[in-house]
Every structure is written in structure tokens, then in C-alpha cells.
Structure 1
């Protein structure tokens, strides 16, 4: 008892995740991760994106989850543990792998206007020096790049493909009941941040976070603004899928259609 009083209680190890932030990339997941990391009841790994369930080599045989659980080096007691890798909702085998890991796990997904998401994704790749093509050129080249990536999906340059949310939602709903999934419209997470955060913590079963300043995170300088021509092009590409998302989620996505 004296030792416990002097040195405190060593936090228990993570043996099972309670939740995963599964997507979508460039939709506010870094900001959500930040607020989750500030919550005293929540344990998160040392780095934001573990890329465990989208690692094809790791799942070539029987999955060993020790590496997943060993990514947590905790210095305080906690109630629930989770991780945040936003490619999971897009990476086709990942959701089934998560289900096999734990069919009772909770999933958080943020969805952003796919036009804005695609342009932000392209801008990030330009900023990192990976993308030589201008935006519309890259959009037109995406199918060829996807063919070259087969049998895997395209990671870096999947600007348009990641924005077809209806297929990704259908995959989520195939494996998990809706009460285990919280889907947040990114624009509402930005504009109604405190209310959205409170709803996230209720969903996870922990008390609301006290304090914590809201600000944009993981923002890189934009090379330029999206042009009307580019916006119209993506509007035409995504229009049908946006309607499907509205039907699946009961959302009003009229703001995603604005030109």
C-alpha cells in the first residue's frame, strides 16, 4: 500500500480496442484525434495513424494483434482505448478485419464534402512534392493509376475514389450494426464543434471533455483555390453518390452541391 501511495498505480495494458476512428482522410480526423487525446479517460497509441488493419503483409497469414496493443505506452489510468487511421473506411479489406478483431467495437467516421476533400487531398500531395500533375489532370489520370496499383487500391492519388462514400458506408453497414457506428458530417464538426464532441463522448460512454480549444489541425498551405471548372467537374462526378449518401444517412447534403 505504501508503494502504491508513493509511486501511484501502474496503468493496465491495452488488450482490446474499444473504438476506432476509421475515416475519412482530410475530413477532420486529426482534429478529432486531438480532442480524444485530451480526454483523461481515453487511451491512444503513441502515433496517430497505426495503419494496422490496412497492412496487407500483416494479414497475409493469421493476424497477430500484439503489435497493435503494443503501440500504447501509457502513463495514466484509462477507461477506453482506441486508434485513428482514416484510410480504414476506404481500404476494402479493413472493415472486415476490424469486425473479425472485435464485432462489438465502436467506429467513428467523419465525411466531408467529397469535392472539398478531393481538392484538399490533391493539395496535400502537392505540398509533399509527390504529385506532379495539376488537379484536373490528376483526376483524369486516376483510373490509370488505379489500374497500375492493382490488385491493391490506390493510396496516395485516390482523390476521387475516396469520395464515393456510399460504397464505403454499405461495407460498414454490412459488418456492423448502426448503433456501433457514429457518422459525423465534417462541416457540422467544424461549425458545431462542442455539440459534436459531446455527442462523440456520449457515444463512447465517457463524460464530456472539459476545456480544449478548437482550431484547424493538419492544415497545409493551399497552392491555390479550386477553380469553378474543377468544382463543376467534381460536382458532376459526385452528384449521384451524394444523393445515395443522403438516402442512406438521412442527411441534407445540399451544401455539398453548391457551385
Structure 2
């Protein structure tokens, strides 16, 4: 039985979290995305558990798969039945930047030429992945089945600004001993701000950015109230705006 799950969001540092959490001696994290609970995996329950077979008895065990964040109620309920004490964490990134990073990744893998894509084509791509930026709805769905205390929500902004504190908070939440990340050598501390799988920096057009600002202004305003955080800069100054 696993002890924790990282839920995403997509393009919000899941590979970074996996890489650094794996350095903690009390944590065993699967090396890649498992997708078992999404229903798209062909793994049996035994095969799924076999992925954690090398974990030591004293370690907390889990995995990080960003598509878990948008699972339906039936999938979340199945996880609750599997382990009602599961510890969960969910990283929220500015939905404008998150979606643009997703599309830029498609460009990097040559599935899309952003230098030629039309305004309508780009907006259709945003619409395809819109659920991954519906943070309030996703959090509410998970909290229908798990307590608020079991779900640790944090921001991509904070992860980049203070990666050590972010990792320490995740470790405490999932039951690992504190202090490991604070004690890392200074050379590792400098590496903590390196992004994994960063996509090509391609400018977002004014027209697409204006559309997204209008699309996300109200959801971000409501999320501000829910989290007790001022996130106005997500609309006013998203990171992708500096590429214009």
C-alpha cells in the first residue's frame, strides 16, 4: 500500500518534486508517472505494488502523476477505499503560464509549430487542457473524499522562490523526518532552482494573452479568496508576458 500521492498540476514541477524528494532517505518515490489510478494503466494491482518493491520498511512510499488532479469522483473514491489515510499534495501554477508551458512543450517535441499556429488553433489547444487549470474544482473534488488536512496545496511560485522550504513542507506532510533538505550542501541548494524539462521559450501573442487574462481573471480571483493569497500578479504579470 502506498502512503502518498502527488497530484500535479501538469507543467507545475512534478519532475522536479520527484527528483528531489527521492534524495530523502525516508522517502521512496516511483521514478516516473504511473497513471495507475487514472484507469488508463494496464498494470494489475500486483504489478503496481511491484514498482515500490525496493522501498525499505521505514520509508514512506508513493508516486507523482499530474493527471491524478483531474480524476473523476469515482477514481478519487477508489483511492479513498484503497487507503483512507493517504497523504496528498498538489502544486498550483499560474494557469496562464501552465497552459502556455504545456503548448510550448508540444512545440519542442515537434507536434506543433507555434511560429505558424493560428490564434484559433492555439485557443483550441488551451481548451483541450483547461481542466488542468481548474484548481478550485479539482481541490473540491478531492476534498469530497479526503479531509482538507490530508491535502497539502502549495504554489509553484513558492517552490521557485524557496525550494528548500517547499520540500521540507512536503516531507513533513507525508511523514518523512524534517531537516534533510535544509542540510543539503550549498552546491545542491544552487541546483534546486534548475527546472526539469524546460521547454523552448517562445513568445505568447498579445491576442492570446489578452484572451487568457479574461478567461482566468474570475477563477483566479476566487482562488485568491480560497487560499488567502494575493494572486493578482497571475493575471497582471504572468511569466509568459515577459516573452512578448
**Could you state the TM-score of these two structures normalised by the residue count of structure 1?**
0.79
Q: Which residue of 2 aligns with 1:84?
A: 64
Q: Residue 138 in 1 paired to residue 121 in 2?
A: yes
Q: Which residue of 1 aligns with 2:242?
A: none
The gaps in structure 1 that reach 5 residues or longer are 1-15, 147-156
Asked whether the 8 Å contact 2:123–2:208 carries over to 1, the reply is no
Q: Which residue of 1 aligns with 2:153?
A: 183
Q: Deviation of residue 64 (structure 1)?
A: 4.7
Equivalent residue runs for 1:9-48 within 5 Å: 16-45=1-30, 47-48=31-32
Q: Of residues 61, 67, 73 in structure 1, which corresponds to 2:47?
A: 67
The gaps in structure 2 that reach 5 residues or longer are 238-244
Asked whether the 8 Å contact 2:29–2:62 carries over to 1, the reply is yes
Asked whether the 8 Å contact 2:8–2:65 carries over to 1, the reply is yes
Secondary structure (helix, strand or coil) at the match of 1:175 reads: coil
CA deviations over 1:203-238 (Å, ceiling 9, x no partner):
122222231430323233425122333222111111
Q: CA 1:206–1:175 in 2, change beyond 3 Å: closer, same or farther?
A: same
Q: Of residues 117, 134, 141 in structure 2, which corresponds to 1:164?
A: 134
**Could you state the TM-score of these two structures normalised by the residue count of structure 2?**
0.83
Find the aligned partners of 2:65 and 2:208 in 1 and give their Cα distance.
Answer: 28
Q: CA 1:35–1:229 in 2, change beyond 3 Å: closer, same or farther?
A: same
Q: Residue 50 in 1 paired to residue 34 in 2?
A: yes
Backbone CA RMSD of aligned residues: 2.3
Asked whether the 8 Å contact 2:7–2:68 carries over to 1, the reply is yes
Q: CA 1:56–1:49 in 2, change beyond 3 Å: closer, same or farther?
A: closer
Find the aligned partners of 1:162 and 1:38 in 2 and give their Cα distance.
Answer: 28
Secondary structure (helix, strand or coil) at the match of 2:67 reads: coil
Find the aligned partners of 2:55 and 2:3 in 1 and give their Cα distance.
Answer: 19
Q: Of residues 246, 252, 258 in structure 1, which corresponds to 2:224?
A: 246
Asked whether the 8 Å contact 1:44–1:83 carries over to 2, the reply is yes
Q: Which residue of 1 aligns with 2:103?
A: 122
Mark the structure with the bigger radius of gyration. 1
Q: How many residues align?
A: 226
